[in-house]
Chain A
Amino acid sequence: MKTAGALVGAGVLTGIGSTVPSLIPKASAQPAKPSGKALRVGFQVHRTGIGAIYGAWYERTANAAVKLMNETGGIAGRPVELVAEDDGTDPKRGVEVVEKLAQQAKVDFIFGTLFSNVVIAAAPRAGELKIPYLVVSEGYHVASGKLNRYIFQPGITDVRAQVSALAPWIVRNLGKRITMVYPDYAFGYDHRDFFGAAAKRLGGNIAALVPIPLTETSFTKYFPRIPRNTDVVYHVMVGPGVLTFVREMGEHFGARRQKLFGFIDSLEGVDIGSSGLEFLEGSYIWEAFPRYADGYPTRYEAFYRSRVGVNASGASQQDGKNVSAYSHMFGVWETLFVIKEAVEQSGYESPGPKDYRAFIETLERAEWFNEGNWHPQGSKRFVGRLHQAFGRQFVSQVQNKKLKVVFRTKIEDGMYPPEADYTKQPL
């Protein structure tokens, strides 16, 4: 078996040891028309509420992936049907959506939840109903072990891995005294806890912590808490107020601003060229998947981008003002193809303890998802006991009102010692 380093270095389809069952995408699926009973995939989507901007793009990506699947033979020869249900980005409603999809719609799997507060609320119910629940959330909640054996996050790297991989670059290149501005809920706490710890290990220190409530609409009053002698302002924000957030940050700092390291979450769905964002010029942004097509120009990326209908600047092909959630929505695409791979390799046929066991155990034995049309963001290491995938991260700089990739981490930079082992839990 090749080493992780070799695989990542190659960055392309790589052979995998024959003794370990794995999920390798075929170079090209036989385009046969799918037939038989449809495989129903429940899609819990934030169509409304504060996650709606992500939800719209998650849905668009999911539809594109399912369309591609159905054009290329479906899943195990069966057509795929997406059963979407809005959860209003609301934890309470999220639980009801899981129940509705599992018990009334009788879907085979549920996937797609993003906001970590909704995932944390809904996951226990999926575990009780014993239905696989694959989230695209980034939170550390899956890998922490606090959820259950039915919950997977195979399509996107978790926050702990992201910030562990990025911390050395930030401390080395931007500075040691860091102030963190983050949303005041689970996802923000993952940033606070894991970046804070990683920075301290590297000799950095956290000058101040500035949590901001999730529903805040005015941010000016928070910025005075950033100490003057801070080297770096680390910001990550979500929700409909993100443009206001960055704009007001610019108004507060002006030309005197500290170095900025932001997570693209603060700018997802926002045009970098918007007025008031000029101060971002020269600042650094984490991206999971570069918004601008020249950031990671592979043929798989180009294929994925055109199938979802995104232009070279990361906006909708139909409406250049409609900027995508490019650094998150690839997780939806990749998760759907993980479902496809796991169904085909486990022989899954219908909902029930036996087939679900086969599906879950097959997925837990997976080690790599190889880069290709099905995994355009890049190869991912999958750790079965954590139910979590690990991929590479990008650092981009704002140059001429665009994002330009300047650094890319390695997969192993983000790997941490596992704390959980879901495979020991009963099914």
Chain B
Amino acid sequence: MTFGEHLFLGLLEGVVSGLILALTALGLSLVFGVMRIVNVAHGEFFMLGAVVAWYASSLTGSFYAALLVAPVVVGAVALAAERFILRPIEYAPEATIVATIGLLYILQQVVLSVYGPYARPVNAPVYFRVDFPGFGYSGYKLVVAGVAAVLLGALWLLVTRTRLGLYMRATQQDREIAQAFGVPVDRIYGAAFALGAMLAAAAGVLIVPVQQAHYLMGLDALLLSFMAVIIGGVGSLKGTLVAALLIGLVDGVMSVFFSPTLAKVGASLLVAFVLVLRPGGLFGEESP
């Protein structure tokens, strides 16, 4: 393969993984921004999405059913978690971290006992190979990138053009004033948490034909999402999106040219550099 082909493959991999990461990370960012809480169990919603997709597609035989069912199921789980775990502790920052760590283990272990330790495949709805000069590439991955981009567009519309989005932005800016203006803050919290989880679940469903559903798959998703949220600036959806694509591209290009381990080191260094230069992240509110 020539240099150009290598670079192209790296960029392709980077864009695909960056878009998937963006879905997961935006979910985390939304929860971070609106509710001001750290959801350590976010990666488990991604995993749960993949696992529910396996059940749904083996029962119905249809991937599209899984794409609909999994986010709904995961959203319901998240709603329940918000109502019965986070609300009783009044979203206190420290308590929330501990509670969501607990939730992480509960979800992981429930999946382990019910679904088992297997890595099970879900068949892709479309399967074809795209032949580039020098290498072939999964057509489904390109479809995934497209669907992820559409979902991101829909999220942008939701946040900027709908009443729910307006309420979310208002709650993010100032909870008490929003409440004074009649925003049902409690319900907005529930909605933001469920929506965040549904985004992660959608990413999980999209990825499951590429990498099988496995009960430990949430960890990588969580770590990378945190990186994207921090680099992008806490609470900034635009920042998270840019950061996710940046991490994907750096990782994709570097891992084609150097060793993938080095690429992970590179991506982590990137976080460190951004934080040294801009402690609030790329698009974050400047901290004093």
Interfacial residues, chain A to chain B (CB-CB below 8 A): 47-50, 52-53, 55-56, 212-213, 215-218, 220-224, 228, 240-244, 247-248, 250-254, 269, 274-276, 322
Complex Cα distance A228/B217, Å? 33
Chain B contact residues, majority secondary structure: mixed
Q: Which residues of B contact A275 (CB under 8 A)?
A: 123-124, 127
- Specify the chain B residue showing the minimal Cβ separation from A223: B135
A-B contact pairs, 9 of them (CB 8 A): A48-B215, A52-B116, A56-B116, A221-B255, A224-B135, A243-B119, A248-B138, A251-B137, A254-B129
List the A side residues contacting B116 at CB < 8 Å: 52, 56
In contact, B260 and A213 (Cβ under 8 angstroms): yes
Which of B117, B135, B217, B261 is the one whose CB lies under 8 Å from A52? B117
* A228 and B1 in contact, given A213-B261, A222-B260 (Cβ under 8 angstroms): yes
User: Does B252 interact with chain A (Cβ within 8 Å)?
Assistant: yes
- Measured CB to CB, the closest approach of chain B to A49, in angstroms, equals 7
Nearest Cβ on chain B to A405's Cβ, whole angstroms:
26
Instruction: In the complex, identify which listed stretch (B9-17, B181-189, B277-285) lies at the interface while the others stay far away.
Output: B9-17
Q: Given A243-B212, A254-B136, A276-B127: A224 and B9 within 8 A (CB)?
A: yes
Complex alpha-carbon distance, A246 and B154, angstroms: 34
Q: Is there contact, CB below 8 Å, between A55 and B117? A: yes
Q: Is the CB of B211 within 8 A of A217?
A: yes
Q: Is B256 an interface residue (CB 8 A)?
A: yes
A253-B136, A269-B118 are known; give 11 further A-B pairs, CB within 8 A. A47-B117, A48-B215, A53-B119, A55-B117, A217-B217, A218-B13, A220-B137, A224-B5, A241-B119, A243-B121, A276-B127
Interface 0/1 of B111-135, CB less than 8 Å to A: 0100011110101100101010001
Contact of B256 among A213, A216, A217, A224 (CB under 8 A): A224
Q: Does B6 contact A (CB under 8 A)?
A: yes
Once the chains are docked, how many angstroms separate the CA of A248 from the CA of B123? Answer: 14
* Contact partners of A53 in chain B: CB under 8 A: 117-119
Residues of A contacting B147 with CB < 8 Å?
none
Instruction: State A224–B1 Cα separation when bound (angstroms).
Output: 7
Taken together as a complex, chains A and B put the C-alpha atoms of A216 and B119 apart, in Å, by: 13
B220 within 8 A of A: yes
Q: Given the known A-B contacts A220-B13, A221-B255, are A56 and B1 also in contact in the complex, defined by CB atoms under 8 Å?
A: no
In the bound complex, CA of A222 to CA of B256 (Å):
7
CB distance from A177 to the nearest CB of B (A): 17
Whether the pair A241, B135 counts as a contact (CB closer than 8 A) is no
**Chain B residue at minimal CB-CB distance from A51:** B117
Top 9 A-B pairs, shortest CB-CB distance:
A52-B117, A240-B119, A254-B136, A221-B255, A251-B138, A240-B214, A217-B211, A244-B211, A221-B256
Minimum CB–CB distance for B46 against chain A, Å: 12
Q: Which residue of chain A has its CB nearest to the CB of B14?
A: A221
Check: B97 CB closer than 8 A to any chain A CB: no
Scan B154-169; emit 1 where CB is below 8 A from any A CB, else 0. 0000000000000000
Nearest A residue (CB) for B117: A52
Looking at the assembled complex, report how far the CB atom of B207 sits from the nearest CB atom of chain A, in whole angstroms.
9
Q: Report, as a range, how many residues of chain B touch the other chain.
A: 35 or more
A48 proximity list for chain B (CB < 8 A): 112, 117, 215
Q: How far is the CA of A218 from the CA of B211 in the complex (A)?
A: 7
A322 to B116, CA, bound (A): 12
A-B contact count (CB 8 A): 87
Interface check B210, CB cutoff 8 A: yes
B216 interfacial by beta-carbon distance below 8 Å: yes
Q: Tell me, rounded to whole Å, the shortest Cβ–Cβ distance linking B133 to chain A.
A: 11
Complex Cα gap A189–B174 (Å): 57
Across the interface, do A254 and B131 meet the contact criterion of CB distance under 8 Å?
yes
* Nearest A residue to B112, CB-CB: A48
Chain B residues positioned under 8 Å from A252 (CB to CB): 135-137
Let me know if B260 and A251 touch, CB within 8 A. Answer: no
Which residues of B sit under 8 angstroms from A243, Cβ to Cβ? 119, 121, 212
Contact at A221–B10, with CB atoms within 8 Å?
yes
Residue of B nearest to A184 (CB): B261
Closest B residue to A212 using CB positions = B260
> Is A218 within 8 A of B210, CB to CB?
yes
What residues of chain B lie closer than 8 Å to A221, measured between beta carbons?
9-10, 13, 252, 255-256, 260
Q: Please, which residues of chain B bring their CB within 8 A of the CB of A322?
A: 118
Residue of B nearest to A56 (CB): B117
How far apart are the CA atoms of A373 and B241 in the complex, in Å?
60
The answer to whether B260 and A52 have CB atoms under 8 Å apart is: no
Chain B residues 175 to 234 lying within 8 A of chain A, measured CB to CB, are: 210-212, 214-217, 220
What's the least CB distance linking B106 to chain A, in Å?
15
Considering the complex, give the chain B residue whose CB is closest to the CB of A210.
B259
| Distance from A218 Cβ to chain B, minimum over Cβ atoms (Å) | 7
The residues of A that contact B216 with a CB separation of less than 8 Å are 49-50, 240
CA distance A221 to B251 in the complex (A): 10
Q: Which residues of A contact B123 (CB under 8 A)?
A: 275
CB B141 to nearest CB in A, in angstroms, measures 8
Question: What residues on B are CB-neighbors of A215 within 8 Å?
Answer: 220
Residues of B1-47 whose CB lies within 8 A of A: 1, 5-6, 9-10, 13, 17
Smallest beta-carbon distance B62→chain A, Å:
15
Interchain nearest-CB distance for A237 vs B (Å): 12
Bound form: Cα–Cα A217–B9 in Å: 17
Q: Which residues of B contact A55 (CB under 8 A)?
A: 117
A247 to B116, CA, bound (A): 23
With both beta carbons as reference points, the residue of chain B lying nearest to A276 in the complex is identified as B127
Most buried by B among A56, A216, A221, A276: A221
Residues of A within 8 A of B217 (CB): 217
Q: Which of B118, B127, B136, B211 interacts with A56 by CB under 8 Å?
A: B118
Bound Cα distance A216, B123 (Å): 20
Chain B positions within 8 Å of A250 at CB level: 129
A220 and B1 CA atoms in complex are apart in Å by: 14
Contacts of B119 in A (CB 8 A): 53, 240-243, 269
Chain B residues near A240: list those with CB within 8 A.
118-119, 212, 214, 216
Measured between beta carbons, the chain A residues less than 8 angstroms from B121 are 243, 274
**How far is the CB of B152 from the nearest CB of chain A, in Å?**
20
Chain A residues with Cβ under 8 A from B17's Cβ?
A: 218
CA distance A257 to B5 in the complex (A): 17
Please tell me which one of the listed residues B9, B124, B214 contacts residue A220 in the complex, with CB atoms under 8 A apart.
Answer: B9
Q: Collect the chain B residues with CB atoms within 8 Å of residue A228's CB.
A: 1
Q: Cβ of B210 and Cβ of A244 under 8 Å apart?
A: yes
Which residue of A has the minimal Cβ distance to B131? Answer: A254
Distance of B209 from chain A, by nearest CB (Å)? 9
Chain A residue nearest to B213 (CB atoms) is: A240
